């Protein structure tokens, strides 16, 4: 009986170790694969863009440049940020846009969007995913506005 108890304790210890290792390895609590950190709509963790993601990107203002929100109508985080985004889009006219990912799967694929909401600056507008910079900050109106102004002016 002692060997059985010892074996069970070792097995439980290994399972606990593996669970802890998995939790530690996943950055900033990003366990769902969509790039949302522990704060939900607050800070983003991880990069949800494939290959075209650039961290801390430089300013690349162009007359065609757009700041784009990729969202899905069923996404809870999107429902929180969309009203703020719509106000910013109204203030910046056609340079700040939102794209429903469910209705535009080709654009989602072209921009490498892996989760919603994803906010990017695209110097070429929505037609080309070259030099794309992903927004990775706070989802407050003032922070989003700073990102927009930095890239569009």
pLDDT in tens, 3-36: 887 777 787 767 676 665 554 443 333 333 333 3
Q: What does the CA dihedral 33, 37, 39, 43 come to, rounded to 10 degrees?
A: -120
Residue 30 lies in a domain: no
Residue 94: its pLDDT value, please? 83
Is the pLDDT at 112 greater than 60? The verdict is: yes
Residue 87: its pLDDT value, please? 92
Residue 21 lies in a domain: no
Tokens of 37: 């950190």
Q: How many domains does the chain have?
A: 1
Residue 60 lies in a domain: no
Tell me which residue range forms the domain holding 71: 66-152
Confidence tier at 74 by pLDDT (50, 70, 90): very high
**Residue matched to tokens 């929505």:** 126
Residue 1 lies in a domain: no
Query: Is residue 75 within 8 Å of 116, Cβ to Cβ?
Result: yes
Is the pLDDT at 138 greater than 50? The verdict is: yes
Residue 12: its pLDDT value, please? 74
Nearest residue to 68 via CA among 109, 102, 107, 119: 119
Residue 99 lies in a domain: yes
Distance CA 153, CA 146 (A): 11
Is the pLDDT at 117 greater than 80? The verdict is: yes
What is the average pLDDT across 54-70?
64
Tokens of 120: 């990017």
Exposure string for 45-54, b = 16+ CB within 10 A, e = fewer: bbbbbeebbb
Residue 50: its pLDDT value, please? 32
CATH of the domain at 108: 3.40.30.10
Is the pLDDT at 72 greater than 70? The verdict is: yes
Residue 128 lies in a domain: yes
Residue 20: its pLDDT value, please? 55
DSSP codes, 95-107: GEEEEETTT-HHH
The mean pLDDT value of the chain amounts to 73
The angle formed by the CA atoms of residues 114, 117 and 121, to the nearest 5 degrees, is 85
Residue 132 lies in a domain: yes
């Amino acid at each position: 009986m002692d060997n059985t108890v010892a074996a069970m304790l070792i097995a439980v210890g290994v399972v606990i170790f593996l669970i802890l290792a998995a939790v530690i390895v996943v950055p900033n609590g990003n366990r769902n694969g969509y790039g949302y950190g522990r704060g939900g709509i607050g800070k983003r963790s991880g990069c949800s863009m494939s290959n075209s993601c650039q961290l801390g990107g430089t300013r690349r203002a162009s007359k065609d440049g757009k700041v784009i929100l990729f969202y899905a109508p069923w996404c809870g985080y999107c429902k929180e940020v969309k009203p703020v985004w719509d106000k910013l889009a109204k203030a910046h006219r056609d340079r700040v846009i939102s794209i429903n990912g469910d209705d535009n799967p080709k654009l989602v694929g072209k921009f490498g969007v892996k989760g919603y909401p994803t906010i990017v600056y695209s110097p070429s507008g929505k037609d080309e995913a070259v030099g794309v910079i992903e927004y990775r900050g706070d989802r407050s109106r003032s922070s989003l506005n700073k990102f927009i102004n930095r890239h569009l002016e």
